[in-house]
Each structure stands twice: as C-alpha cells, then as structure tokens.
Amino acid sequence: MVLFTPRRVILVITLALAASAARSETFDFKQCVGIALAQNPDLVVAQTQVKQAEAGLRQAQANYWPKLNLSMTATRSNDALNAFGLKLGQRGATFGDIGFRDFDSTNPNILTVAPHNLNQPGAVTNYNPRAELLIPVYNGGLVADYVKQAQSYVKAAQAGDRLARQQLIDQVLMAYQGVHTARAYVRVTGEAEAAAEEYARISDRLLKQGMAVKSDLLSAEVNLADMKLKSVSARNAEAAALDQLHLLLGKPLTEPIEVGAPVMPTMLVGDVASLRQTALANHPGLQALRNQADGAGAAVAAARAGKLPQFNVMLRQDWNGKTPGFDAGSYTAAGVLSWTAFDGGGSRAAVDRAEAQRLEAVAKHDQASNGIAYKVGDAKRQAQEAEDKVKARKLALDLAVEAQRLVKKRYENGLGTLIELLAAQAQLDKARADLVAADYEQAVQRAALKLAVGVLDADQL
C-alpha cells in the first residue's frame, strides 16, 4: 500500500506542472499570422499612423462647426479710461464720475476745468463672464479642401497598413515554412545517415567475405562520419528556423512552440499583363501613394482658397459686475468680411509650394507604378520557374532512387565498386535535398507573386 504523504503529494503536483509547462504549444499558420500582427512593431507604427490621420480628419471637419468660447476675466484698474469704461459696462456710471461736481456755470473758463473724478478715478473692480460664438459662413472652400486632404491621408494610411500586413504575412510564411523545410532536411540527412550506416555494414561484411578491400570499409566509415555531421547541421538549421519564428511571434526563445500543418499558397492565375493591371489598380502601396497625391492636390486647392475673401459671424454675450455673477448683460453681433489684398506674394508662393509637392507625389506614384509592374513580371517568372523546378526535382528523385537501387544491388553482389555506390547515394541525397528546397521555393515564390500584385491574404492563401 502506497501512502501519499503531503510531501509526496506536493512533489507529484510539482512534477505534473513542470511536465505541463514543458509541453509545446502548437500554432497553425493562421494563428502565427494573428499573433505576429498583434505585436509586430511595424504594424503598431502603421496603425498609429492610421489613428493620426483619422484624428486629423476629425480636426479638419470640426472647422465646419461654430466655435463657442467661454471666458471669465477679473480686472481691477484705476486707469482713467479703463475705470470709466468698466463702470459703463457695469451700468453704474454717474454724473459724478464725469466731473459734474467741478462744473461751475458762472466760471467763464469752465471749459478748461479738468474734472477730478474723471481724470483721477479710484480703482474699479470688474468681473466679466463672456460667451462668444464664432460662426463660419464662407471661406472660399478652404475648410472643404482641408477635409479632402485629410480624407486622402486617412486612405493613404489605411493602404499603408494593408501593405505592412501583407509584408508581415510573407515574413511569417517564410519562417513558418522554413521550420518545415528544415525538418525535411533533417529527415533527408537522417535517411542519408541510415544509408551510410548500412553501407558501412555491407562493406564490413564483404570485407570479411573477401569480396571487398579495406579501403572500401574506410571510405564507407568516412562517408558515415560526413553524414553524421550533415545531420547535426540539419538539426541546427531546424533550431535556427524555430528561433526565427519565435522572434516574429514575439515569443521568448525559451518557450517551446510547435508548428501545425505546412502551408502551400495557391498559384495566382493570369498572364503578366492581367496581373500587372490588377496590381496597378489594387496594390496597397500604390493606393497609398495615389491617395497622398490626391491629398497634395487638395492642399493646392486649399492654398488657392486662402487668397479668396472670407466671411464669418460673431455673436457675443457679456456680463459685468463688481462681484462674480451675471449682472449688467450686454450683447454684440458682428459680421466680419476679410480679404488679404496684398501679402508680398506669400499666398502665391504657398500655391507654388503646394503644387510642387503635388508634382513630387505624382512622380513618386508613377515611379512606384513602374517598379510594381517590374516586380510583378519578375515574380511571375520566378513563380513559374519554381513550378517547373518542383516537377523536375520530383522526376530527378524518382530516377535517383532507381539508380541507387540498381548500383546497391550490383555492389551487394560484388559486381560494383563502393565508389559507384557512394556516388549513386550522393546523387540520391542531393535529389532529395533539391526537392525539399524546390518545395520551399514554390511556396515562397507563390506568396511573393501575390505580394507583388498586392493580394496576399492569410485567409485566402
């Protein structure tokens, strides 16, 4: 009978937790993409740029609305003009404040008498709450142009975010498939190592039977040692591929992870001309530049609108009193028509500058269009070459398997040499490795073509 003491129970729980922590968490390709999109610094930058552009749009649209300003001003002054004005604002001015006490109708020089209370007033305290409403009526289209510019920048930022997402998906695919490719190399080198061990045993047996020479056994053992080194290199490549995936996912290198099933993007159909047309219309990078050019065009219109007259209405309500409150209310309504008739050419220079920036944006878009067109053509050729390479590598592997089988049979019957066998095995190992590389290249080039066209999507890979 086993007694479970508290100490033993604690030990069992600790070991169970350790075993649970050591288990690798499995992520399929879509999960890897989702994790990378959630934490990648480039995506964070792109998303903050979208938020900045959206805030800029809201700021531009706010100019359509009236602005209400609320203020409270406290003043104390014995300045003659200000003091009298403050008393008037409080509706508290008297005849005494303008010097009627100093008026003497019998004085022939009364017009030269300086009123004491008017010129030497005591300090006056005034509290002035104010509500002021500014209403834009006409600004030559300036606000509308600013809104168009902000809308274009929002679209440009959103397109930039889509481009960054596609680029990250491509990076994740390369790392994800890189793990599977590295493991395929591990299997290939494992098969080569097993074959080398078998050749060493065959050489030893034939040597004992007098059907081989000592040099054959030594050559087989050298080949076995070489295959073992290649197996080590393949396992190191697998570890490096997993580390790279860790970095893309933002996972600690010490955290064990496992990848799900391998992925293979579908081949994008269409000839180069149709794919280029699709890219020129839909590529997010070009859309971003196109929207930036539109925004620059709106900036030109805004600069021109700055030369036109503007009309705004101002409505103001004031209160003035010796104490804070809403005493002695008064209102003011005003319409303001302003027009900068001359500014030394500043407005014209602003238009010229905006137009030059627009031309620069258009030139960048045209240059990028040519670059995208080239990339689409090159990516299409590379993808087609990868398709053909996979077919050729599969055929080469079938032939290498059959050739190795025939040479091995001849060697086992004493009709062939070890050199021939090792050469056939090397050819087979190379054919297997070439097929692994071709499969990886096929996946990468298919994704690269979709990225060049601007349609790379993890959900429709």
The confidence band for 20, taking pLDDT boundaries of 50, 70 and 90, is very low
The confidence band for 3, taking pLDDT boundaries of 50, 70 and 90, is very low
Could you tell me the two tokens for 284?
């997010």
Tell me the C-alpha distance between 11 and 30, whole Å: 38
Residue of 130, 131, 129, 126 lying closest to 321 (CA atoms):
126
Structure confidence at residue 24 (pLDDT): 67
Locate all alpha helices (DSSP H) within 62-141, ordered by sequence: 80-89, 116-119
Locate all alpha helices (DSSP H) within 343-417, ordered by sequence: 346-412
**C-alpha distances in angstroms, 365 versus 43, 88, 208, 278, 283?**
23, 64, 76, 16, 12
Angle at 167 between CA 166 and CA 173, to 5 degrees: 90
Determine the distance from the C-alpha atom of residue 103 to the mean position of all C-alpha atoms in its chain, rounded to a whole number. Answer: 81
pLDDT tens figures, 350-397: 999 999 999 999 999 999 999 999 999 999 999 999 999 999 999 998
pLDDT tens figures, 304-330: 998 899 999 999 999 999 999 998 999
Beta strands in 245-300 (DSSP E): 257-259
Residue with tokens 């627009």: 358
Could you tell me the two tokens for 367?
């240059």
Structure confidence at residue 318 (pLDDT): 95
* Superfamily of domain 24-65+141-460, CATH level 4: Outer membrane efflux proteins (OEP) (1.20.1600.10)
The residue extents of the domains of the chain are: 24-65+141-460, 75-138
pLDDT tens figures, 225-256: 888 888 898 899 889 989 988 888 888 888 88
Question: How does the average pLDDT of the chain come out, rounded?
Answer: 87
Q: Taking residues 7-25, report their average pLDDT.
A: 47
pLDDT tens figures, 75-94: 999 999 999 999 999 998 88
Res. 408: pLDDT tops 90: no
pLDDT tens figures, 191-207: 888 877 877 787 777 77
Structure confidence at residue 11 (pLDDT): 42
Task: Decide which of 249 and 453 is more confident.
Answer: 453
CB 195 within 8 Å of CB 427: no
Tell me the C-alpha distance between 302 and 310, whole Å: 13
Structure confidence at residue 150 (pLDDT): 93
pLDDT tens figures, 145-204: 999 999 999 999 999 999 999 999 999 999 999 999 988 888 888 888 887 787 778 777
CB 399 within 8 Å of CB 428: no
Structure confidence at residue 23 (pLDDT): 60
Structure confidence at residue 125 (pLDDT): 95
Could you tell me the two tokens for 49?
């740029």
Residue of 324, 343, 302, 23 lying closest to 151 (CA atoms):
302
Tell me the C-alpha distance between 228 and 235, whole Å: 11
**C-alpha distances in angstroms, 369 versus 74, 115, 284?**
62, 82, 11
**What percentage of the chain has pLDDT greater than the value 90?**
51
pLDDT tens figures, 89-115: 999 888 888 888 877 777 788 777 788
Q: How many other CB atoms are found less than 10 A from the CB of residue 153?
A: 25
